[in-house]
Structure 1
């Protein structure tokens, strides 16, 4: 299998379940040459501030531009990170962000727990770097309309993936080559600006 090369370093930001063996992010990491991943927290796994600090710790180890690839709660972590820190971010792929105002199924943290752990309120200002929000039309953690509104607030390009659930192994998704296409698009942003 030929590995995929990018000029920017790709930083994988998983959701609350961290690194799942058959998850598209885990498989993507194996296919990229220039890649890092935010490691799981040992304790206080629901603490948003610690999750954000873990992103920053990885970014401090990277020289040059970075493409963020976040899924689910990883998207929320990215928003909190962007409101607090700065780095040379070339772009971000933000996949199926959950809606904090929605009641989630019983196997997910409650709205009260997330508020106590610092996730809510979510910063909703425009992101200071280009971003693509990939949304599902049948995600049980966010309606398409809610994600459409989020993308608008963040200044992101919105892509409708169709009925892909929460875009995880439970929804039948492992290897997702379209993520590679989005990353390559973000990796070419500087060249596109120069050619314009």
Structure 2
């Protein structure tokens, strides 16, 4: 058994079966942090759920977040007393929840938390993500103290992006 656990933090409405997070769950046995409400996500509820799963055992954790899961990491790290258990975070396609065209279900995720993360992190950003302009995503990454990897024009870096098992980003996560 690996010393480090990988916790998968899906975004709004969860990750479907062809999403890289779901593939990692099947291939590598990573643990998806299941939320009580995927459709109307409440920031405080999601933060509490991450703490619950994190405290299930004493093993250190790598966080692999997609979309709203990135905003979860930022908000959670400002409030949790358990951030020392996290050895690193992969932040894929952080959305701009402050945009005027965001669905009302995501208004609860305003303002975006921008404090420096207390653990190493890297943001993977698409140049044509429909949910966040490159300038906004790179600024969030800078605020969080995250390295940046540009993925090129790959959309929202989800199942529709055709990433498959995404081994190069898995290696990036494990390198943290």
TM-score (norm 1): 0.82
1:25 aligns with 2:21: yes
SS in 2 for 1:64: coil
1:7 CA displacement: 3.1
After superposition, the Cα gap between the structure-2 partners of 1:93 and 1:6, relative to the gap in structure 1 and judged at 3 Å, is farther
User: What are the Cα deviations for residues 3-58 of structure 1, in whole angstroms up to 9, with x where unaligned?
Assistant: xx75311010000121311110000111224x321013158732111111111111
* Structure 1 unpaired stretches of 5+: 187-196
Please list, as runs of the form range in 1=range in 2, the aligned pairs for 1:155-174 lying within 5 A after superposition: 155-174=145-164
Distance 1:71 1:43 in 2: 13
How many residue pairs match? The answer is: 174
Partner of 1:190: none
User: What are the Cα deviations for residues 128-165 of structure 1, in whole angstroms up to 9, with x where unaligned?
Assistant: 00000000000000111111111110001111111110
Partner of 1:7: 3
After superposition, the Cα gap between the structure-2 partners of 1:54 and 1:153, relative to the gap in structure 1 and judged at 3 Å, is same
Please list, as runs of the form range in 1=range in 2, the aligned pairs for 1:41-190 lying within 5 A after superposition: 41-42=36-37, 45-87=40-82, 88-104=85-101, 109-110=103-104, 113-115=105-107, 117=108, 119-186=109-176
Distance 1:71 1:169 in 2: 11
TM-score (norm 2): 0.90
* Structure 2 unpaired stretches of 5+: none
Distance 1:63 1:114 in 2: 32
In our comparison, the structure showing a higher alpha carbon Rg is 1
